[in-house]
Amino acid sequence: MPNAARVADYLYGGQNNFQADRKAAQSLAAAAPVIADIASAVLGFQQRVLRFLVAEAGIRQILDIGTGLPLVGNTHEVAQSLAPECRIAYVDSDPMVLSHARALMKSAPEGAVGYVDADVRDSGTIIAGALETLDFSHPVAILLLFTLAYVEDPEAAAVVPSLMAALPSGSYAAIYHLASDLGPALEEAVRQWNTMMPAQPLTLRPAARVAGLAAGLDPVPPGLVPVTDWRPAADDPGFEHVIPVHAIVARKP
């Protein structure tokens, strides 16, 4: 059977996937060719966000929820290349993902990398596990990159507030989310995915609902925008059409 983490790994150009995952990914891409561009667009956003958080905002602690399978340019690699003392706690509920992460994701000597087995909805377990690596008396950046699309309403609205409640002022949340209002391209692909994988359904959301996921936080300019418009870099790849993914980075006042 296809697995969400392995399908994503294939779309991102990884090697940790099986024929069932590749077949599922190819079927989704046939229904929505834009999926091939989403992978590179969101990876670019992740790199830009980490540069902002570490190099500009001075963040040295990151809670990456929904880790996915290891790829080149993982969160700890980028963050520690900018500041080797960065500490990262990876969170996932997929045993395969955590096994790969523990084997392959190693910290720079000056910093630390930890792993938490928890579902994104279980903020208590996430916080308790992350405290083994992170110090919550200092600001932390939470990364929810794609993860909230796997959380249905009304649970999704509670995820960020429950996590941010444990963090001090000056902490951040970075989110990207599949969009329902940036063109119809994804609708058929998501319908297919939810038929193939009813245990891991995806939810598309419009801009207003994605913004609501970060309610109570102060958006970092330019606020909520299509993922390619969040502080684009000169070396970002170009796309012929809008990538149907919303992105926002916000700070706890």
Q: What percentage of the chain has pLDDT greater than the value 70?
A: 98
Question: Which residue ranges make up each domain of the chain?
Answer: 4-251
What pLDDT is stored for residue 180 in this prediction? Answer: 96
Distance CA 208, CA 224 (A): 9
Among 176, 229, 246, 231, which residue's Cα sits nearest to residue 57? 231
CATH architecture of 4-251: 3-Layer(aba) Sandwich (3.40)
Phi-psi sector, 132: left (phi>0), alpha (psi -120 to 50), beta: alpha
Note the pLDDT tens digit of each residue in 172-209: 999 999 999 998 889 999 999 999 889 889 999 999 99
Note the pLDDT tens digit of each residue in 75-130: 999 999 999 999 999 999 988 877 877 876 789 999 999 999 999 999 999 999 99
Distance CA 122, CA 120 (A): 6
